[in-house]
Amino acid sequence: MQTSDSLPDDFVLLTHFYSFTKFWWIAVLTTLLGGFIGFLFSHFHHPIYEANARINVNVDLTKVTKFPLERQDEELALYNVQTALLDPQTINNVVLAASQQNISINPTLLLKNQTIERKLAFWELRYRDENATLAQKIANLWLDEALKTFQALSESGKVPSYVIIQGVTPADVPQTPLYYRPTWLILAGGIIGLVSGILIAEALGTRLQNRL
């Protein structure tokens, strides 16, 4: 006597298929429902734009007084840029500079909508907002204040003299949203709905068959 574990794979797959076909309409409904939910989500959530400002930082070997410069020491030195970006004085100055341009923002919101990431010799400051122009303005205000803080730290000796800013790239106005794109949300909702519907339909079909 064959058990379900010893049945051929093609027979098992065929059984699952027939189980699904009894409730195929559930998969159709959940696909439509998922797509509709994705549409509603995109409709009620405004697109988010992300402005990207960059700082190119490096080590000036001609100013290094102690050789060899350990890799760890170099990494710690370069991280002074992040220190300047997140310095409380920098944050407060950004809020103040924004208020002078009639931009209402607070430190909590500022930190919530930012991402700071290092990519080799570059530090990227990314700021997100529903208003693309506003995202650019805040990113560039933050960039300016961070550079002032970095300069002050360098002059006070808190940043090694061999750590230098080689270049700065201000943020442009972002042209495309970061996410909440309607087409992708509708597609994603439909796919999730389809997968869920198939699982539900197959489970119901199998349950019904076991009762027979």
Tokens linked to 30: 């959940």
pLDDT at position 7, please? 45
Burial class (CB in 10 A: 0-12, 13-18, 19+), 86: middle
Instruction: Provide the CA 193 distance to its chain's centre, in angstroms.
Output: 24
Torsion (CA) 132, 180, 118, 84 in degrees, nearest 10 = 50
Quote the pLDDT of residue 1: 44
| pTM as predicted | 0.64
Round to whole Å and give the CA distance between 28 and 59. 60
Each residue's pLDDT expressed in tens, for the chain with a length of 212 residues: 444 444 444 445 566 566 666 777 788 888 888 888 877 776 666 788 999 999 998 877 767 776 665 665 567 667 888 899 999 999 999 999 999 999 999 999 999 999 999 988 899 999 999 899 999 999 999 999 999 999 999 899 888 877 888 899 999 999 888 765 667 777 888 888 888 887 887 777 667 666 65
Q: What is the pLDDT of residue 58?
A: 82
Closest CA to 118 of 79, 154, 88, 151: 79
Domains of the chain in sequence order: 9-45+180-211 (no CATH), 49-169 (3.30.70.1130)
Cα(91)–Cα(210) distance, rounded to whole angstroms? 65
What's the pLDDT at 37?
80
Q: Give the integer Cα–Cα distance in Å for 78 and 59.
A: 8
Question: What integer pLDDT is reported at residue 18 of this predicted model?
Answer: 64
Position 17 scores a pLDDT of 64
Which of 206, 207, 211 has the alpha carbon at shortest distance from 18? 206
**Distance between CA 56 and CA 68 in Å, rounded?**
23
Q: What's the confidence (pLDDT) of residue 14?
A: 60
